[in-house]
Structures are given as structure tokens and as C-alpha cells.
Amino acid sequence: VQVGDILDRGDDELACFRLLTSLSRQAREAGGELIMLYGNHEALNCVGLFQYANPGGNYEFEHEVGVSIDSALGSNRWRLMYAGNQPSRWAAFEPGGLLAENLLANMKVAVVVGRTVFVHAGLTASHVKEYGSIETMNQAAADWVLHQHHGENDYEGHYDTVAQVVESAQKRARGATKKMPNCLGGGSGEGSPVWMRDYSSPNDGVPKSPKAQQLIDEALEEVGYGVQRMVMGHTPQHRINAALKGRAWRVDVGASRGVMAGQPEVLEIIHGGDGEDDIVNILTMSGEKVASSERQVIESIF
């Protein structure tokens, strides 16, 4: 399970997606599965908010996406719909856009595998209750990203004034944002599944939220399926660690150069059978397998 935020982390975003989709095919052929989750940066890109994108990443989209659209349409006037706001990137990620059906609609907000629930930032019981189930939450995200919400596209760029161009792009952004499901919405400091930090902040330490333990206990009970832990990213840690009595695993190690250039690590969960405990390890680049007991963040009693 990849827990989101592939985007806005460097210059090779499409290359990362190609690698992950290739791994997904290989996993399927081997009888397994690779699951990709939405992060808040995927949600931002879907509604035309690119303030965190790298210039090199924008060039990648221009070179691999924009030039191809120019060629297919025999014109670059389609770009006017986006009013100069990274048209190639926006055309790729907007709801109903170029990557909506084959990539984005297959990503999930959260997923249960065995006795573990995975999500980008966190889940509360209220998140699950709002939709009735994680499956319904994921369907709401897929339904939203599969359909454009701004009306018809004007590929030939029939605009008479700059104001009309700007209004077209604003309508595009407003339409997608207004219809965005709550499970993908929010912003910095908000409490949605792709934005909350109640379980992961501060990094490498005990969560500062006094209600964090209660929130995660209630969330895991509401998710059901006998889940015992929640795995999340969002807040970069210096190494994978667990907090809240081992129920909150924080796995974002800021590995990309666009964040902290951290040392990559992987959380390995070996499912136990009925009546058996799962085995949780951290795999490091040096080949070490670290037991979960060595990565517990425990609140000091002093």
C-alpha cells in the first residue's frame, strides 16, 4: 500500500506513477496487489492548486502531456481554458481529465488489508459514519474524479477578452472544489482523512492532541473488520514509528529530495491466522529487519 503524496515531491512525478502502475501489474500477475491512496497533494492537484509543484515537475507534464495535446488538437488554444495555470498538469489531474479513469479512479481514500487500515492522514469514527463504510467513502471519491464539474470544454479557445479566460479557469476550479467529497476536502489544519494530523504530529513524538488515543480507538472500532492498527503518512518522520499504544503507525519518512531526503524504509506486516498475532517489522535500506517493539513512541511519565 502506497499512502499518497506522490505529487509535489520533485521533478519526476509521472515517472513515479509509471513505476507504481508497472509494479501494480507485476503484483497482480504474481497474485498480489498494489494499492495507491489519495494524499492531500493529489487532492490539491485535482482542483488546480499547484503552489507546491516543482518547476521540473511542471516541465515534465508540459513535455509529456501538453505537447501531445497540442499535436492531437493541431492547436495550443485549449490552454486558454486554464488561464496560464499549468494547463498540462491541470488537464491531467482534474476530475474527468486525462488521468481520471485509468489512474485516479483506481486510487482509494482508505483501505483495510487484514487487520490494518491504511489512510493518508488519519480516520476518525465520524469519517466512517459519514459515509457508512470505507467502501462507500472510496466510491464517493471515484465518482467525483470521474466526472467534470465545470461544464463543457472549449478546446478551440473561443474567448473575446482576458476576463473571459480568467472566469473560465475560475469556474473550472469552483466546480471541482464545490463537488469535492469531504473525504478529500479541507486544507492545512483541517480534519479530513487526507489533512488531519491528530495521530502523526509532532513527528517522532507522542501526538500532541489530548484526544488522539480516544479518537483512534473509536475509529478502529467503527471501521470494524477486527482492525488493530492504522497506518498513515502525511507528517514526515525521521524513521517509521508507532504511537498511541502501537495503534498509529507513521510511515512517511520524507524520502524524496523534495521533502527531507530521508532514508527509505518500509513497514512489513505479516498477517497471522485466526488466534495468531500479526508480525510487524520495519525493513531498512541496509537489509535490516527491525522489530516493531523497537519503534514504539511512548509518553514519558516524568
Beta strands 229-232 and 116-119, pairing class: parallel
Q: Which residue has the cell 481514500?
A: 109
CB 235 within 8 A of CB 139: no
Contacts of 23 (CB under 8 A, 6+ apart): 34
Q: Rounded mean pLDDT of 219-224? A: 97
258, pLDDT greater than 90:
no
Q: Rounded mean pLDDT of 147-153? A: 94
Rounded distance, CA 194 to CA 191, Å?
A: 8
* Reported confidence tier of residue 266, pLDDT bands at 50, 70, 90: very high
Sheet (strand 248-250) strand order: 110-113, 116-119, 229-232, 248-250, 241-243
CB 292 within 8 A of CB 116: no
Q: Rounded mean pLDDT of 162-183? A: 96
301, pLDDT greater than 60:
no
Give the per-residue pLDDT at 302: 45
* Reported confidence tier of residue 84, pLDDT bands at 50, 70, 90: very high
Q: Specify the pTM.
A: 0.95
275, pLDDT greater than 90:
no
The proportion of the chain whose per-residue pLDDT surpasses 70, expressed as a percent, equals 99
Residue 279: closest CA among 267, 287, 271: 271
pLDDT digits 0-9 by tens, 45-68: 999 999 999 999 999 999 999 999
